[in-house]
A and B are shown apart, each in its own frame.
Chain A
Amino acid sequence: SAVISQKPSRDICQRGTSLTIQCQVDSQVTMMFWYRQQPGQSLTLIATANQGSEATYESGFVIDKFPISRPNLTFSTLTVSNMSPEDSSIYLCSVEDPARKLFFGSGTQLSVL
Protein backbone atom coordinates (compact mmCIF):
# COMPACT_ATOMS: atom_id res chain seq x y z
CA SER A 1 0.00 0.00 0.00
CA ALA A 2 1.05 3.58 -0.62
CA VAL A 3 1.34 6.22 2.07
CA ILE A 4 0.40 9.68 0.91
CA SER A 5 1.16 12.90 2.70
CA GLN A 6 -1.00 15.80 1.65
CA LYS A 7 -0.79 19.37 2.88
CA PRO A 8 -2.14 21.68 3.93
CA SER A 9 -4.91 19.74 5.65
CA ARG A 10 -7.13 22.80 5.61
CA ASP A 11 -7.01 26.45 4.71
CA ILE A 12 -9.23 29.49 4.64
CA CYS A 13 -8.49 31.78 1.71
CA GLN A 14 -9.67 35.08 0.36
CA ARG A 15 -11.47 35.42 -2.92
CA GLY A 16 -9.09 36.01 -5.85
CA THR A 17 -6.06 34.37 -4.27
CA SER A 18 -4.45 31.04 -5.11
CA LEU A 19 -3.61 27.98 -3.03
CA THR A 20 -1.13 25.25 -3.84
CA ILE A 21 -1.75 21.78 -2.44
CA GLN A 22 1.14 19.36 -2.15
CA CYS A 23 1.05 15.59 -2.35
CA GLN A 24 4.01 13.37 -1.46
CA VAL A 25 4.00 9.59 -1.93
CA ASP A 26 6.32 7.14 -0.19
CA SER A 27 6.96 5.20 -3.39
CA GLN A 28 7.37 5.90 -7.06
CA VAL A 29 4.11 5.93 -9.00
CA THR A 30 3.37 6.52 -12.64
CA MET A 31 0.09 8.35 -12.31
CA MET A 32 -1.34 10.61 -9.67
CA PHE A 33 -4.93 11.76 -9.61
CA TRP A 34 -6.54 14.86 -8.20
CA TYR A 35 -10.15 14.70 -7.02
CA ARG A 36 -12.58 17.23 -5.62
CA GLN A 37 -15.28 16.33 -3.14
CA GLN A 38 -17.87 18.86 -2.09
CA PRO A 39 -19.46 18.34 1.33
CA GLY A 40 -21.72 15.32 1.35
CA GLN A 41 -21.08 14.66 -2.32
CA SER A 42 -19.21 12.18 -4.45
CA LEU A 43 -15.68 12.46 -5.74
CA THR A 44 -15.08 14.20 -9.05
CA LEU A 45 -11.87 13.66 -10.95
CA ILE A 46 -10.12 16.91 -11.81
CA ALA A 47 -7.08 15.63 -13.67
CA THR A 48 -4.55 12.85 -14.07
CA ALA A 49 -0.88 13.77 -13.70
CA ASN A 50 1.90 11.75 -15.31
CA GLN A 51 5.51 12.53 -14.62
CA GLY A 52 7.15 14.26 -17.56
CA SER A 53 4.00 15.20 -19.42
CA GLU A 54 1.15 17.65 -19.12
CA ALA A 55 -1.76 16.68 -16.94
CA THR A 56 -4.94 15.42 -18.55
CA TYR A 57 -7.99 17.37 -17.40
CA GLU A 58 -11.54 16.11 -17.19
CA SER A 59 -14.47 17.94 -18.66
CA GLY A 60 -15.23 21.10 -16.74
CA PHE A 61 -11.71 21.59 -15.44
CA VAL A 62 -9.04 23.68 -17.16
CA ILE A 63 -5.33 24.12 -16.70
CA ASP A 64 -5.53 27.86 -16.12
CA LYS A 65 -7.76 27.32 -13.12
CA PHE A 66 -6.13 24.15 -11.77
CA PRO A 67 -2.49 24.03 -12.86
CA ILE A 68 -0.74 20.83 -11.87
CA SER A 69 2.94 20.05 -11.55
CA ARG A 70 4.50 16.59 -11.49
CA PRO A 71 8.24 17.08 -11.21
CA ASN A 72 9.08 13.49 -10.24
CA LEU A 73 7.53 10.10 -9.53
CA THR A 74 6.73 10.81 -5.87
CA PHE A 75 5.41 14.37 -5.82
CA SER A 76 2.68 16.51 -7.33
CA THR A 77 1.03 19.84 -6.67
CA LEU A 78 -2.40 21.19 -7.53
CA THR A 79 -2.99 24.93 -7.53
CA VAL A 80 -6.46 26.37 -7.21
CA SER A 81 -6.18 29.75 -8.91
CA ASN A 82 -8.19 32.95 -8.61
CA MET A 83 -10.42 31.32 -6.04
CA SER A 84 -14.10 32.02 -5.54
CA PRO A 85 -16.48 30.66 -2.88
CA GLU A 86 -17.56 27.99 -5.38
CA ASP A 87 -14.10 26.45 -5.06
CA SER A 88 -14.74 25.63 -1.41
CA SER A 89 -14.38 21.88 -1.26
CA ILE A 90 -12.15 19.02 -0.19
CA TYR A 91 -9.33 18.27 -2.59
CA LEU A 92 -7.78 14.81 -2.57
CA CYS A 93 -4.76 13.40 -4.31
CA SER A 94 -4.66 9.73 -5.12
CA VAL A 95 -2.32 7.11 -6.54
CA GLU A 96 -2.93 3.71 -8.04
CA ASP A 97 -0.92 0.63 -7.11
CA PRO A 98 -0.10 -2.20 -9.56
CA ALA A 99 -3.23 -4.03 -8.42
CA ARG A 100 -5.21 -0.95 -9.48
CA LYS A 101 -6.25 0.01 -6.00
CA LEU A 102 -6.53 3.72 -5.35
CA PHE A 103 -4.95 5.16 -2.23
CA PHE A 104 -5.94 8.64 -1.15
CA GLY A 105 -4.28 11.41 0.76
CA SER A 106 -6.05 12.74 3.82
CA GLY A 107 -7.42 15.66 1.82
CA THR A 108 -7.26 19.44 1.91
CA GLN A 109 -10.36 21.20 3.14
CA LEU A 110 -10.53 24.55 1.41
CA SER A 111 -12.84 27.38 2.39
CA VAL A 112 -12.96 30.52 0.25
CA LEU A 113 -14.41 33.68 1.75
Chain B
Amino acid sequence: QQPVQSPQAVILREGEDAVINCSSSKALYSVHWYRQKHGEAPVFLMILLKGGEQKGHEKISASFNEKKQQSSLYLTASQLSYSGTYFCGTEIRAGANNLFFGTGTRLTVIP
Protein backbone atom coordinates (compact mmCIF):
# COMPACT_ATOMS: atom_id res chain seq x y z
CA GLN B 1 0.00 0.00 0.00
CA GLN B 2 3.03 2.27 0.27
CA PRO B 3 3.22 4.74 -2.60
CA VAL B 4 6.32 4.55 -4.76
CA GLN B 5 8.33 7.68 -5.44
CA SER B 6 10.77 8.35 -8.21
CA PRO B 7 13.54 9.15 -8.47
CA GLN B 8 14.98 7.78 -5.23
CA ALA B 9 17.61 10.50 -5.21
CA VAL B 10 18.56 13.49 -7.31
CA ILE B 11 21.36 16.04 -7.24
CA LEU B 12 20.76 19.50 -8.65
CA ARG B 13 22.76 22.65 -9.07
CA GLU B 14 21.21 25.84 -7.78
CA GLY B 15 18.72 27.19 -10.27
CA GLU B 16 17.91 23.85 -11.87
CA ASP B 17 14.46 22.29 -11.91
CA ALA B 18 13.33 18.90 -10.64
CA VAL B 19 10.23 16.72 -10.72
CA ILE B 20 9.40 14.13 -8.08
CA ASN B 21 6.73 11.57 -8.81
CA CYS B 22 4.46 9.65 -6.46
CA SER B 23 2.52 6.66 -7.68
CA SER B 24 -0.08 4.61 -5.85
CA SER B 25 -1.57 1.20 -6.57
CA LYS B 26 -4.84 2.32 -5.02
CA ALA B 27 -7.33 5.01 -5.91
CA LEU B 28 -6.55 8.19 -4.02
CA TYR B 29 -8.65 10.80 -2.32
CA SER B 30 -5.81 13.16 -1.53
CA VAL B 31 -2.07 13.55 -1.77
CA HIS B 32 0.07 15.43 0.72
CA TRP B 33 3.69 16.51 0.28
CA TYR B 34 6.26 16.92 3.06
CA ARG B 35 9.94 17.80 3.20
CA GLN B 36 12.26 16.45 5.86
CA LYS B 37 15.71 17.83 6.46
CA HIS B 38 18.31 15.61 8.02
CA GLY B 39 17.73 15.17 11.74
CA GLU B 40 14.51 17.15 11.70
CA ALA B 41 10.81 16.37 11.61
CA PRO B 42 8.89 16.45 8.33
CA VAL B 43 7.40 19.80 7.35
CA PHE B 44 4.16 20.22 5.44
CA LEU B 45 4.33 21.60 1.89
CA MET B 46 0.88 21.17 0.37
CA ILE B 47 -2.25 19.09 0.03
CA LEU B 48 -4.03 18.23 -3.20
CA LEU B 49 -7.60 17.12 -2.76
CA LYS B 50 -9.12 16.91 -6.20
CA GLY B 51 -8.17 14.99 -9.29
CA GLY B 52 -6.24 17.15 -11.71
CA GLU B 53 -5.70 19.79 -9.09
CA GLN B 54 -2.53 21.79 -9.22
CA LYS B 55 -1.23 23.88 -6.39
CA GLY B 56 1.74 26.13 -5.92
CA HIS B 57 3.86 27.34 -3.06
CA GLU B 58 6.44 29.90 -4.17
CA LYS B 59 8.57 27.99 -6.64
CA ILE B 60 7.25 24.60 -5.59
CA SER B 61 4.07 23.31 -7.16
CA ALA B 62 2.32 19.99 -7.52
CA SER B 63 -0.25 18.21 -9.61
CA PHE B 64 -2.59 15.34 -8.85
CA ASN B 65 -3.88 13.03 -11.55
CA GLU B 66 -6.64 11.11 -9.87
CA LYS B 67 -7.22 8.76 -12.79
CA LYS B 68 -3.59 7.74 -12.95
CA GLN B 69 -3.33 7.62 -9.15
CA GLN B 70 -0.25 9.80 -9.39
CA SER B 71 1.05 13.08 -8.11
CA SER B 72 4.08 15.08 -9.13
CA LEU B 73 5.99 17.73 -7.23
CA TYR B 74 7.72 20.41 -9.29
CA LEU B 75 10.66 22.36 -7.91
CA THR B 76 11.61 25.34 -10.04
CA ALA B 77 14.87 27.28 -9.89
CA SER B 78 16.02 25.21 -6.93
CA GLN B 79 17.68 26.83 -3.94
CA LEU B 80 20.10 25.34 -1.42
CA SER B 81 17.29 25.36 1.12
CA TYR B 82 15.33 22.87 -0.97
CA SER B 83 17.70 20.07 0.00
CA GLY B 84 16.09 17.31 1.99
CA THR B 85 14.00 14.21 1.60
CA TYR B 86 10.58 14.66 0.06
CA PHE B 87 7.71 12.38 0.96
CA CYS B 88 4.28 12.12 -0.53
CA GLY B 89 1.52 10.99 1.78
CA THR B 90 -1.60 9.44 0.33
CA GLU B 91 -5.10 9.08 1.61
CA ILE B 92 -7.39 6.53 -0.02
CA ARG B 93 -10.72 7.90 1.15
CA ALA B 94 -12.21 10.97 2.74
CA GLY B 95 -12.07 10.84 6.50
CA ALA B 96 -9.52 8.04 6.56
CA ASN B 97 -7.39 10.23 8.77
CA ASN B 98 -4.25 8.24 8.16
CA LEU B 99 -1.55 8.93 5.63
CA PHE B 100 0.57 6.32 3.94
CA PHE B 101 3.89 7.91 3.18
CA GLY B 102 5.82 7.18 0.02
CA THR B 103 9.29 5.72 -0.28
CA GLY B 104 10.91 9.16 -0.30
CA THR B 105 13.13 11.14 -2.66
CA ARG B 106 16.39 12.58 -1.42
CA LEU B 107 17.08 15.91 -3.09
CA THR B 108 20.47 17.57 -2.83
CA VAL B 109 21.05 21.05 -4.20
CA ILE B 110 24.66 22.08 -4.65
CA PRO B 111 26.10 25.52 -5.39
Q: Report if B103 contacts A (CB, 8 A).
A: yes
- In the complex, which residue of chain B has the Cβ closest to the Cβ of A47? B98
Tally of A-B Cβ pairs under 8 angstroms: 40
A104–B34 alpha-carbon span in the complex (Å): 11
* Minimum Cβ distance to chain A for residue B4 (Å): 11
A residues adjacent to B (C-beta < 8 A): 31, 33, 41-45, 48, 58, 92, 96, 99-107
- The number of chain B residues with a CB under 8 A from chain A is 19
Residues of B within 8 A of A96 (CB): 97
Given contacts A101-B47, A102-B34, A102-B44, contact A42 B98 (CB under 8 A): no
B23 to chain A, nearest CB (A): 14
- Looking at the assembled complex, report how far the CB atom of A108 sits from the nearest CB atom of chain B, in whole angstroms: 11
Chain A min CB distance to B6 (Å): 14
Which residues of chain A are within 8 angstroms of B40 by Cβ–Cβ distance? Answer: 106
